[in-house]
Structures are given as structure tokens and as C-alpha cells.
Amino acid sequence: MLIAFNKPYGVLTQFTDQSMPPRPTLAGFGLPKDVYAAGRLDIDSEGLLLLSDDGARIAQISSPKFKWPKTYLVQVEGIADETHLAQLRAGVTLNDGPTQPATARLLEKAPDWLWPRDPPVRYRKSVPESWLELTIKEGRNRQVRRMCAAVGLPCLRLVRISVGPHRLDGLAPGQWRSEIG
């Protein structure tokens, strides 16, 4: 079984939380029993999370050696330009070493289908923002956020829209569906 889930902002990518007070987890969304996340998505990130009951499939999706592409919509602080995109496309050096090159493109604005974040991203009139679409084939801890910061574009919002051939395709935050493949 393979499940596509649109993880809302503020939800942990696990089924339990030992912190006090407990934070929202995957347990609150009626997902099938015995599925586990294939990879992770930080609590402050949103979007596509794949889950499965098949350990080999989970390993294939989440292991960097299989190089499954992951695509993100990224709202950044600042005006992104071709220099920033060229740096991301070449790969940037992070504190844990250089990244592989990314596919990066500038978007004119957020896509019309994108839901508002709850809570909203803090808006500041004096600070411009840009939207990028970024695809990576690694999956280091907070990698997209760190890559954007390394080129001078701090991340305000991060939404994963695809993992390999699987896409959000109309799933609202908190919704899930069974996938083929």
C-alpha cells in the first residue's frame, strides 16, 4: 500500500509525540494502520508525504542512493534573480558538505491552487519576497531551507509538491489518498 498525504504545517511526521504539551501528529488524520512515512517533512514544512506498509518501498523512496527527485515550492525573503538560481543549479556548500545540483526556476507568484498557510507567513511591506520551484535528489536535514539561506534567500514557506512520480494533485491539507505504484 502506498499513501499520498498532504501534511499540514505544524504536524509532526510521526504518529506519536512525547513532548508536553503534545504536538499534532499523523495519528490525527485517519490514515490506515501500519503505514510509516517514507522520508520526512519538517514540522514547519507542508505538502506531499508518502507513507507505506512496505519496508522495502519505504527504503527505496527515502534512500538517497535511489535519487528520487523531490520538488518544492519555496517562498523566500528577498528578490530572487538568475544569480541565485545559478548558484542553486550548481550546488551549494553547506556545513555538512556540497549539495548536488538542483533544478531551480523563479515563479512570478505563488500558484493559484496553493492554499493559504495556517498560521499565515508574517507579511512585511518593507521586505520583498519571491517564489521558487526547486527540485533536489538528496534529502538532507532541512536541505532546501539551508540551500536557500546559503544563497542569501531565507525560506519563509516550504511546500513539497512531488516525490518521484507522485504529486499532490489537488489534495487539500490533511487529506490523503491511495496511490498506484
Query: 6-45, pLDDT tens digit by residue?
Result: 999 999 999 999 998 989 999 999 999 999 999 889 999 9
For residue 73, the number of C-alpha atoms closer than 13 Å in the C-beta half-sphere is 19
- Domains recognised in the chain with CATH numbers: 1-64+167-181 (3.30.70.580), 69-163 (3.30.70.1560)
Q: What is the pLDDT of residues 113-140, one digit of tens each?
A: 999 998 888 877 788 999 999 999 998 8
Tell me, what's the pLDDT at 66? Answer: 86
Residue 118 is a catalytic residue:
no
Per the CB < 8 A criterion, the answer to whether 133 and 104 are in contact is: yes
Q: What is the pLDDT of residues 50-73, one digit of tens each?
A: 999 999 999 999 888 888 999 999
pTM here?
A: 0.94
What does the DSSP 8-state code read for residue 66?
G
User: Active site residue: 17, 42, 53, 54, which one?
Assistant: 42
Length of the chain: 181
